[in-house]
Amino acid sequence: MTKRDGRFTYNVMVKTVFVQALPNHRIFIRFGDGDEGEVDLSEFAGKGVFSAWDDASLFEQVHIGEHRQICWNDDIELCPDTIYMKLTGKTLQQYFAMPDSQPAHA
């Protein structure tokens, strides 16, 4: 969803509406704009706090946190915007604010 404030068109952060653990450190996720699919998180597994995912029962506890983040416990959470960009292939510039016109020069 986009909003316009006169100078910028910007993305209103997409709301996470569903998340489910899948085998091999993957999740299925659905966002409020209808985008959904599998995201492979295996690149994080076994590293730092993500070593907790070595316990498959912990990885299966994935849920949506109160601030729409993707959570497993108090120590492990991921930003939904990052996951959205990973799922859709959008760049940071495509996802966040893009100026409608060139800025005025001083």
**Distances from the Cα of 80 to the Cαs of 2, 10, 43, 65, 99, in angstroms?**
17, 17, 17, 10, 23
pLDDT score of 9 more than 50 = no
Closest among 10, 16, 20, 21 to 34, alpha carbons compared: 16
Cα–Cα dist 21/92, whole Å: 25
% residues pLDDT > 70 (the chain): 78
- What's the pLDDT at 94? 82
Tens of pLDDT along 56-82?
A: 999 999 999 998 899 999 899 999 999
Tell if the pTM clears 0.75, that is, is over it. yes
pLDDT band of 11, cuts 50, 70, 90:
low
Q: Is the pLDDT of residue 40 over 90?
A: yes
Domains of the chain: residue spans and CATH: 15-94 (3.30.2020.10)
